[in-house]
Amino acid sequence: MDSDLPDLDNLRAVAVLVATEAAELAAEKQVVAGEQVRTKSSRTDVVTAVDTAVEELLRRRLAELRPSDSVLGEEAGLSATDSSAGDGQQLRWVVDPIDGTVNFLYGIPWYAVSVAVVRGAETLAGAVVEPASGRVWSASLGGGATVDGRPLAVSGAEELSLALVSTGFGYQAERRGRQGALAASLLSEVRDIRRFGSAALDLCAVAAGWCDGYYEHAINHWDWAAGALIATEAGAVVHPPDPAAPFGNAIVAATPGIVVPLTEVLVALGAETV
Ligand code: IPD
Ligand code: CA
């Protein structure tokens, strides 16, 4: 770990604060299905007026609290002040205003605001806050992970055939077909599969031992940045997405006892070409 780290407790507190304020706004503005919706990358990839309003709030609060840092958000992209590609020292906040937008749209309470702060390839702190339950997940690098202040720890699963594994599917029809085929093949190798609908919360679920592992191809940084740190700090092994990985450009996060067999089986089932 870099000795020149900024105050990680403070960064974690900022992540929790802005994610909690954003979650309050999202909860107030729960939309009626079908209203205030436009589509993004495909007709099923929706953005609600609430996604936009929540991201605006996050950007405004981060500008007030952390004026020197930049912001990368799902809806408005990278802020003009970003210079983190330069000397790699600028902090960047990576935010997803509502992860689990489709759940949100249908009134399913499993969605969250995700806020992480990164420097270069390292995630320093993060928070995932669920508007419906008010649950607050957070972590800082080397500082552990908690939910509502209670320490998190991954499950002790050691056998892939007894493991509960979650996954997700992107919005592009072609890739979804390949993702579905991989999940279908994986079904006979594990206890069962879950598709909860929020990557950030899939990672928190691994952190809590509610699932033994999670994998998903082609997700965006804002989907996984905070959740991956929370899972790592709870004891999970996390492989961030890497196009050169033998299991393709997927994130894989799992309790240590099953991570090797899980990645091996993904490779054997052709995950590289998903
Ligand atoms: C999506 C969710 C979903 C995952 C998709 C993501 P969004 O994010 O995290 O679980 O499977 O890949 O795009 O659109 O709800 O913010
Ligand atoms: Ca997302």
- Kindly state the average pLDDT of the residues 110-133: 97
Ligand 1 atom at minimum distance from 170 CA: 12
CB of 131 shorter than 6 A to ligand 1: no
65-79, 183-197, 213-227: least confident range: 65-79
Is the beta carbon of 73 within 6 A of some atom in ligand 1? no
216 among known catalytic residues? no
Q: What is the mean pLDDT of residues 98-117?
A: 95
- Which neighbouring-strand residues pair with 95? 73, 115
Three-state secondary structure call for residue 186: helix
Residue 42 confidence class, pLDDT cut points 50, 70, 90 = low
CB neighbours of 142 closer than 8 A, spacing ≥ 6?
Answer: 1, 8, 233
Ligand nearest to the CA of 51: 1
Q: What is the structure's pLDDT at 75?
A: 82
CA of 99 to the centre of ligand 1 (A): 6
Judge whether 272 and 247 are in contact, CB under 8 Å. yes
Strand partners, 112: 99
129: Cβ contacts below 8 Å, ≥ 6 apart? 16, 19, 20, 22, 23, 112, 113, 135, 136, 137
| Residue 96 Cβ contacting ligand 1 at under 6 Å | yes
Query: Which residue among 55, 96, 130, 216 is the active-site one?
Result: 96
Arithmetic mean of pLDDT over the chain: 93
* Whole-number Å distance between alpha carbons of 257 and 236: 9
pTM of the model: 0.94
